[in-house]
Amino acid sequence: MSRVVVLGAGISGHTAAAFARSWLGRGDTVTVVSPRPDYNWVPSNIWVGVGLMKAEKVTFPLAPIYERAGIEFVQASAREIHPEGDPDSDTPYVTAESADGAITRVPYDYLINATGPALRFDKTEGLGPEGGHSLSVCLPGHAVQAAAALEEEVERMRRGERRRFLVGVGHGTCTCEGAAFEYIVNLEFELRNRGVRDKAEITWITNEYELGDFGMGGMHLKRGGYITPSSIFNASLFAERGIDWITRAHVGKVEPDRVLYETLDGKQGEQEFDFAMLLPPFSGVGLKAVGRDGTDITERLFMPNEFMRVDADYTPKPYEDWKASDWPRTYQSPEYRNVFAAGIAFAPPHAISVPRKSPNGTVIAPAPPRTGMPSAMIGKAVASSVVDMIGGADAPSHTASMAEMGAACVASAGANPFTGTAASMTVFPIVPDFERYPEYGRDADRTFGEIGLAGHWIKIVLHHLFLYKARLRPGWRRIPE
């Protein structure tokens, strides 16, 4: 009998747990440790945040799903990993703290860390909806709050007031610019639908060097006889929609009515707002690792940014020397063969976008995204390897390198079945491979993007399909990640 423990029930952890359970025998156990009782289909939080969807439409309780599937569920926050056990027992275990402060000890034979990110609003003074002056759509509750604030702004504009909207990222090292992009174009679309667009001034603020970077170093798309950078398409969409933009910016402080920011050229600026939705930077969730004798071995398992070390090449090197092969393939910890990290929880070897600093030494460059499709694919590959190792394999049998896989992404640009649009994009591979594709790092025939109503239909289909899959309804395994 083997015990597989999965920390986290987001896209990656839920996928890993569900597949591991379906492939393992009944004598083996799969346990999920997660602090939240609900699953959240995060990509649709955007629609909650503009008031088009209720939070209940993007979440569902995990306990009944796991009970039906035969997965044990511990609703608690993972705190410590004891990969060598303790002086009384060699059995590895994790400790988890529930909301009432009770500590649970969860033993494992194989551990999959899929804890996702900690939302580090604290990295920027005044950032965030909890004690700060800006809104977020990272969690369903945040999105509900943003929708309520937007409703108030719409009422003010209906009374004739002009209002200023600021959307983007709230720190120079943020990732997930794509989610903020979806929010700003949906916001603009909704203001038009509600007849108040002429009263709104909308501005995008980003740490990207150019629009359309999205933490992936941008994309080059073959359209109309040209290979065109994504910055052109992004600027075109903003110009068409009357959205202004500030690029290369690190937001250093959020005040009740303005942000103070620094740009890559070292200049200081400020932008006033009435409504600000700014995403936070991420870190790992702060798991500790403890040796058999009680010593702190966190540095052996985790990088300083609290994400878990896996089979990547973490040797510090200049941008010119970055390679696709630096990126992890199996997501196995180099220290413990039975420990893996999946989704956002693994430490990337470096960024994808070019690293940049202002003359003041402020890092202003997007961190690499690893959400959605790649997170689910990594979770599934890790589950496959774990199941094979339980069956006797010496080493991980499956790989899911972001430098070898592509991604399909649909970014909503306005939700309406007849007048809505979305940008449909594919990239291959996610992490550019300049040895294989010397000019742009990606396969130009498989890196594609277009905007239109078809993209919105696809987005709607994916919303329902992935929630169906996450609920582990009949045939869920046949739906790709």
Q: Which residues bind other proteins (CB under 8 A)?
A: 23, 232, 235-236, 238-240, 244-247, 269, 271, 373, 377, 380-381, 384, 387-388, 391, 393, 397-400, 404-408, 418-419, 421, 424, 426, 428, 446, 448, 450-455, 457-458, 480-481
In the chain, the N- to C-terminal Cα span, in Å, equals 29
Residue (359 or 391) nearer to other proteins, CB = 391
Residue (241 or 292) nearer to other proteins, CB = 241
What is the smallest separation between the CB atom of 232 and other proteins, expressed in angstroms? 6
Per the structure block, which two tokens stand in for 37? Answer: 């009782």
Contact 233/125 with Cβ under 8 angstroms?
A: no
| β-strand partners of 394 | none
Residue (298 or 399) nearer to other proteins, CB = 399
What is the smallest separation between the CB atom of 16 and other proteins, expressed in angstroms? 12
Backbone phi, psi, residue 336, to 5°: -135, 120
Backbone phi, psi, residue 82, to 5°: -115, 85
Residue (137 or 409) nearer to other proteins, CB = 409
Show Cβ contacts of residue 36 under 8 Å, excluding neighbours closer than 6 positions.
Answer: 9, 75
Give Rg (Cα) of the chain: 22
What is the smallest separation between the CB atom of 426 and other proteins, expressed in angstroms? 5
* Identity of the amino acid at 171: H
Alpha helices in 256-413 (DSSP H): 298-301, 373-390
Contact 455/422 with Cβ under 8 angstroms?
A: yes
Residue (86 or 443) nearer to other proteins, CB = 443
What is the smallest separation between the CB atom of 449 and other proteins, expressed in angstroms? 10
What is the smallest separation between the CB atom of 445 and other proteins, expressed in angstroms? 10
Residue (139 or 378) nearer to other proteins, CB = 378
What is the smallest separation between the CB atom of 330 and other proteins, expressed in angstroms? 11
Three-state SS at 379:
helix
What is the smallest separation between the CB atom of 131 and other proteins, expressed in angstroms? 29
H/E stretch holding 11 reads helix 11-23
Q: What is the DSSP letter of 149?
A: H
Closest CA to 369 of 311, 246, 287, 282: 282
Residue (219 or 297) nearer to other proteins, CB = 219
Measure the CA–CA gap between 401 and 124, rounded to whole angstroms.
32
What is the smallest separation between the CB atom of 314 and other proteins, expressed in angstroms? 23
What is the smallest separation between the CB atom of 204 and other proteins, expressed in angstroms? 9
Residue (74 or 184) nearer to other proteins, CB = 184
Per the structure block, which two tokens stand in for 13? Answer: 């952890």
Cis before 429 (ω within 30) = yes
What is the smallest separation between the CB atom of 65 and other proteins, expressed in angstroms? 21
Residue (20 or 137) nearer to other proteins, CB = 20
Three-state SS at 168:
strand
Measure the CA–CA gap between 92 and 305, rounded to whole angstroms.
24
Number of other CB atoms surrounding residue 440 within 10 Å? 17
Residue (103 or 239) nearer to other proteins, CB = 239
DSSP 65-107: HHHHHT-EEEESEEEEEETT-BTTB---EEEEE-TTS-EEEEE
Measure the CA–CA gap between 447 and 467, rounded to whole angstroms.
27
